[in-house]
Chain A
C-alpha cells in the first residue's frame, strides 16, 4: 500500500465503520455489529498507522484496490484471535457426538471404519480434544474403528503435537477428571498428554492447497477445519474446499470456525443446522 505521513490519530466515522464492516463481511464472512465498534475502530486505527495511510479513506482505497491482498490479510489477522486450547469451541464436538456420528454410522456396519480429519493440527489440542470427546462421550465408540488424522503445514507444530506437552492455560477448559485421566503433571507445571492418545492420532505434514499433498486423503467422514480458511486468499480457499470435497465420503461433514462459512467459498456443500452447531455437508447423492 502507499504510505503517507500521519500526524494525528485518524478518526473512524459512523459512515467509515459501516462501509468497512460491509466490505469486511463480504470478503471474510465476519460480521461486526455496533457493539464491536471500539474493537474494530482500534484495530483499524492501528492498521492505518502501520501502513502510513493519511486517514481512513486513504487506507480503505489502498485496501480495496491492492492486488496482492497483503493488507487484507494483515487486517484479518488483527481482527481475529488465533489461539488454540483443549475443548475450544466445544459445541462442535458436542454436535459431533450428539448428531454427526449417528448419521455417519447409519450407513455403516459394526466394525466399519469412521475417519475424522482435523486440519490444521496446530500443536495437537484439536485432534486430542476430538479423541477425548469420543472416548468419553460417544457411547458407540467400541462398535467402530475410529481413525483420527491430523495435518498441518508446519512441521514444528506437528512435532510439538507429538511431544504432547501443554501449559496450564491450554488445558484450562478440560474437566478436572479428564485432565487427571489423560494427562500427567510435569515438574514445571505443564501437562503431558498420555502416549496412548498421541499414538491414536495419525499426524502428517500437508499443504491443503497442494493437490499432490491432499490426493491421498479419501473416505473421510468428518473434517474439522476451523479458523484456517479465514487466513487464505479467495482462490486458496476454493482450492482447499475442492480438496476437502474430494476427501469426504458422500454425506460427510465439514466443521468450520464460528466466523467462517463454506457457502461463501463454494456451492459444493449444503448447510445443515443441528441443535449444537451449523455444519456443512457433502451431498449424499454425489457420485465422486
Chain B
C-alpha cells in the first residue's frame, strides 16, 4: 500500500509493528531478584502454614489425650499411693477416720472397724510392711459397698508409716451383706454371724454396718498396677522405678482362627532340573499346569488357619508370643493330563516337561501307565503346622489395646492333597512321604497389628491383620517351579490372662 493511501492510524501502526528496543542488562537481574524474593516469600508462607499445622496437631493430640484421660476417669484417681494386693489407698484422698465417724455411709475398702485381741501374735509379712511398719489383727471391710455388697473379715492389717493401711487379702469374710440397704436380709446375716460366733466384731458394729447405704465414693477406685507408675500419663520415676523393669511375667493363652489370601509367588525355577521333574511327576501328586511349560504356575488362592497361642509380657511395653497353628493353603486351580499307575493304582498329574520322557513313553507303551483323555482341573491343598514366634510392642494398653508385632513363622509340611475341582471324579490324598515337590519346611517373616478389647478383666478379644512373606521357597529343588509365598490374612482370637 502506498504511503499516500495509508490512513494516519495505519502509518503509526505499521511504524511500530515489530518494533524492538533493548532493555538495559540490569533489568533481568532485577527481575531475577524479584522472583527470588517471591519464592522466598512463598517458602515463608509455607513454613508458617506448616507451623500452624504442627501446632494444631499438637493441640489436637493434647485434646485427644485429655478426652481419653477423662473418659477413663483417671483424673479421679491419680494416686501416688502404694499398691499391694487388691487394695489401693491414696494418702490425700483418704478422709480422716474421725471425720467419717458420724457417717453411717460410704465406708472404704480396707477400713478397720475394730482391732481384735490377736494382733501381737500375727507374723509380719515383709511384702506388706516393708520391714518397718506396724501389723495388727483387725476386722476390716473387704468389699465395696458401692456395689451393694459388703464383706467384713478378720484380717492382718499393716499401717505403713504415715501413709496407708494395707490389708492381707487372704482374709476370709466373716459377715457378708449381699444387698446392702435391705434391712431384712441384713438382719438374717447378723443372726447367722452370731450363730457362727463372730469374733472381734461387736454386736453394735453389725447393726451399724447393716444400716449402710450404697453410695458413690469418688475418691477411691481400683487402680491398675501400671497406673501407679504414671502421673497424667507421664512416667513416675521419682520412686526410682524403672519404666521397663516389669516385675513378673503376665502370661496369657488363647485360641485364634484366621483366613486370608495365599500368593504362591511361583515362577519357573532358574535351575529347574527337568530330569528331576520327570521323576517328581511320578513320585508326587502335584497340580502343576502342564500344557505349556511357559505358563506353568501356581495360581493365587486362599489360606485358613486355626490354633493355640501363648505369650506374655517381658516388660511393660514388650511382649512375646508363640503358638501352634494348623494352616491349610490352597493355591488356585490348574489343569493337567492324568496318568494312572495300574500297579499302585495311584494317579498323578503330568507336567508338560515330562511329556516326552522316556520313562513315561515306556510306561504308556507297556500299559502300566494310562493317560487320561484331555486335561482335568485340579487344586492343591497344602497343610502345614505353623509355629509363629512374635515380638510385640504395646502401643496402647487400655480397655482397647493395640500391639504391633513382628517375627518369624516356621511352616512344617504335614500333608498335601490334590483334588479334582470338577466334582470329585478323582480325589488324591497325599502323605508326608510323597510330598517331594514341596519343601518339608519353609519360613515366613511376618508382621501384624493386633487390636484387642478387654472383656471381664481377664479376657481379650483380638483382631489381627497380618502380612507374611516366605524367606525360602515352599517348593522343593526338584520342582520346575520356585515360589516364595506371601500371605495377607486376618485372624480373630480370644485369650485369657492368668
Question: Do A and B actually bind?
Answer: no
Chain A positions within 8 Å of B, measured between CB atoms, are none
